[in-house]
């Protein structure tokens, strides 16, 4: 039985810790806040992040990174902007070179364009690195609702070892060696989740939402392949699966941001009302937009979300500009039937 830990006690980190606990792995959950750690240890709750959820008694919390030294598997679930800082601190206390680090945060670093696994590999060059991503709302996972996810590692045996820890009657995991594709699907879909919320906030209906998801998948695949992912991966759980759930669900923080924008609220007003929660799509839009411009990939929806978030463009104006683009065929017969 592996000794496991989770780095980051937000809603997603805590939900994943409950999965490990239900599987008998008795995880140690690292928290920044002593108050959060005390609540988990004494009351088996974390009401700021997963209200109404009773946590397993085998799940224990700590504020000391040194307590993670002897772990076989460490899930890294900090916000994308903090992952490098926290990982450097973990490296400073020292972990075994055989410890597997599993990146569960969805994002791309703005200044470098590095994916989360690449940040971890740079800091822990000797450790196996893997990724977990899929259509996984923390609130539903914590309540043991049926969920599927994808685990990616360049070494298939590493992925299978992790898969064993994430196989329960209500939680199913699949494996792949396409680390880049799994990460890129999870990061890029955040931008379309904001767009999906905008569609809902503007009251545009189901036809518009279906068009957004379909054209969003085309755009996600085009950019994801340019960044090194396999096109087939974007047809799976970490691509179209995650795209669908975040574009339609009110549990998605990014969707909530977009809905607020569509209703006429400012970004500052929306994020201030989210408390401890982080909508990764807001900072990710910057890094993903810049990556698309750097590679000269056509990303009209991503461009318009960027303009709304960071250039003061109104959602209604962004929609108009999307519809008034030059007409084109849906499939380009000159490119083996690829979507345009």
The string of pLDDT tens digits covering residues 97-132 is 999 999 999 999 988 889 999 999 999 999 999 999
What pLDDT does residue 1 have? 78
Q: At residue 280, what are phi and psi to the nearest 5 degrees?
A: -60, -25
Confidence class of residue 278 from pLDDT cuts 50, 70 and 90? confident
334 has pLDDT over 70 = no
Burial of 338 (0-12, 13-18, 19+ CB in 10 A): middle
What pLDDT does residue 192 have? 96
148 has pLDDT over 80 = yes
Indicate the range of 81-95, 187-201, 318-332 predicted with least confidence: 318-332
Annotated binding site for sn-glycerol 3-phosphate: 106, 134, 189, 242, 252-254
Q: What is the mean pLDDT of residues 4-20?
A: 97
What pLDDT does residue 338 have? 65
Q: At residue 45, what are phi and psi to the nearest 5 degrees?
A: -140, 165
CA distance linking residue 36 with residue 113, whole number of Å: 32
In the chain, the largest separation of any two C-alpha atoms, in whole Å, equals: 64
Q: Are strands 28-30 and 338-339 parallel, antiparallel or unpaired?
A: unpaired
CATH fold of the domain at 4-177: Rossmann fold (3.40.50)
Confidence class of residue 332 from pLDDT cuts 50, 70 and 90? low
Annotated binding site for NAD(+): 8-13, 138, 253
Domain range summary for the chain, segments of one domain joined by +: 4-177, 180-339
CA distance linking residue 5 with residue 266, whole number of Å: 38
Confidence class of residue 333 from pLDDT cuts 50, 70 and 90? low
Say what percent of the chain tops pLDDT 70.
Answer: 98
CATH number assigned to the domain covering 180-339: 1.10.1040.10
CA distance linking residue 107 with residue 79, whole number of Å: 9
Annotated binding site: 8-13, 32, 49, 106, 134, 138, 189, 242, 252-254, 278, 280
What pLDDT does residue 221 have? 96
The one catalytic residue in 189, 232, 313, 328 is 189
241 has pLDDT over 70 = yes
Mean pLDDT of the chain, nearest integer: 94
Q: What is the mean pLDDT of residues 87-102?
A: 96
162 has pLDDT over 60 = yes
Confidence class of residue 208 from pLDDT cuts 50, 70 and 90? very high
Dihedral of alpha carbons 191, 197, 198, 199, sign:
positive
| 43 part of the active site | no
What pLDDT does residue 183 have? 97
Q: What is the mean pLDDT of residues 209-227?
A: 96
Q: Look up residue 303 and give its DSSP letter.
A: H
Annotated binding site for NADPH: 11-12, 32, 49, 106, 138, 253, 278, 280
CA distance linking residue 289 with residue 336, whole number of Å: 27
């Amino acid at each position: 039985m592996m000794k496991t830990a989770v780095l980051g006690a937000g809603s997603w980190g805590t939900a994943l810790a409950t999965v490990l606990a239900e599987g008998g792995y008795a995880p140690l959950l690292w928290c920044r806040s002593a108050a959060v750690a005390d609540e988990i240890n004494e009351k088996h709750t974390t009401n700021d992040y997963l209200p109404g959820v009773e946590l397993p008694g085998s799940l224990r919390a700590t504020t000391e990174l040194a307590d993670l030294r002897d772990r076989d598997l460490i899930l890294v679930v900090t916000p994308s902007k903090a992952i490098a800082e926290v990982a450097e601190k973990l490296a400073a206390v020292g972990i075994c070179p055989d410890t597997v680090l599993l990146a569960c945060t969805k994002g791309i670093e703005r200044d470098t364009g590095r994916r989360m696994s690449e940040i971890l590999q740079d800091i822990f060059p000797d450790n196996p690195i893997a990724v977990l991503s899929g259509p996984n709302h923390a609130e539903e996972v914590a309540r043991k609702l049926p969920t599927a996810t994808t685990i990616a590692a360049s070494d298939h045996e590493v992925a299978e070892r992790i898969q064993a820890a994430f196989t329960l009657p209500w939680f199913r995991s699949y494996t792949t060696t396409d680390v880049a594709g799994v990460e890129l699907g999870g990061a890029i879909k955040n931008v379309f989740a904001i767009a999906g919320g905008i569609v809902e906030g503007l009251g545009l209906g189901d036809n518009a939402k279906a068009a957004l998801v379909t054209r969003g998948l085309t755009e996600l695949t085009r950019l994801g392949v340019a960044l090194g992912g396999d096109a087939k991966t974007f047809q799976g759980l970490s691509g179209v699966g995650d795209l669908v759930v975040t574009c339609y669900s009110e549990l998605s923080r990014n969707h909530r941001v977009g809905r607020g924008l569509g209703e006429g609220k400012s970004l500052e007003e929306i994020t201030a009302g989210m408390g401890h929660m982080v909508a990764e799509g807001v900072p990710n839009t910057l890094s993903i937009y810049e990556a698309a411009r750097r590679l000269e990939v056509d990303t009209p929806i991503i461009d318009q979300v960027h303009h709304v978030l960071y250039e003061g463009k109104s959602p209604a104006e962004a929609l108009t500009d999307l519809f008034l683009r030059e007409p084109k065929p849906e499939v380009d017969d000159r490119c083996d039937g690829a979507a345009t």
